[in-house]
A = this chain, B = another copy of it.
């Protein structure tokens, strides 16, 4: 057979893995188990590999099966997106719009904009997700999202369009109960090393951990989003820089104090970014709306 794999076979494979058995998958697909057996047998035969270990009752994926499943998923994804693109071509509205927010940005402004969009009752499904550090770029890169809010850092421009939305300002904070809350003068690098620091880890799965807090601390606690970092700081588990807009409220309520630190953290420009495909009407609307939104950052330009 010239070409082994079919989307149908990949779908069946995915369902089997997802539902845990041929029988369950057959139910979900409104088919009969033997139909799945047939499809999988054929795929195995055509690929010349066995995809399942059938030595026991419950069929379990072989490494080859896992490989085909993993790569197959991205193919199925791409196929689904193809269908979406076609729909977009008709109305101009994309059926789905996936938006990621960098964890350093406040959630409220985004939700406000999303609310305004939903009120228009467009045929566009919105998905929101949160990314940290380079994760936002990666998500865009890998076509896991269509629009990123708050991406920053060394931007892999070129394949993306970007638009600055403001500058993130970081302040060094500790809990009022923390030893470093009471010391005199700016906190030194030496003092820092004496205390754990809280760091938001890169949400990228692929990257070797690259951290946002850069100082070398005796111990580092990694969390995967900014709210966790705020919590950890408030509890006095460690010290670290926070975006200013996160801090104000906590300082007011006495849960955190701002200190000066010898190792300053650069401000960085925050962007919205999207892929250089032709944007649907939904994406275009969001770009404008998000750019006009107040993100509680230092003014852009």
Contact = CB atoms under 8 A, between A and B. Distances in A.
Interface of A: 3-8, 11, 47-49, 63-64, 67-68, 71-72, 74-75, 78-79, 81-83, 85-86, 89-90, 134, 138, 141, 154, 156, 158-159, 204, 206-208, 210, 276
Nearest to A71: B82
A156 B158 contact: no
Contact of A72 (B82, B156, B276): B82
A78 B75 contact: yes
Contact of A89 (B6, B64, B208): B64
Contacts of A159: 138, 206-207
Chain A interface helix/strand/loop/mixed: helix
Contact of A8 (B6, B158, B276): B6
A202 to B, nearest CB: 9
A4 B72 contact: no
Nearest to A74: B78
B154 A134 contact: no
A79 B206 contact: no
Contacts of A5: 7, 79, 82-83
Contacts of A79: 3, 5, 75
Nearest to A84: B71
Contact of A7 (B3, B48, B74, B141): B3
B86 A47 contact: yes
11 contacts: A3-B7, A6-B8, A47-B83, A48-B86, A48-B90, A49-B90, A68-B82, A68-B86, A71-B82, A75-B78, A138-B159
B206 A276 contact: yes
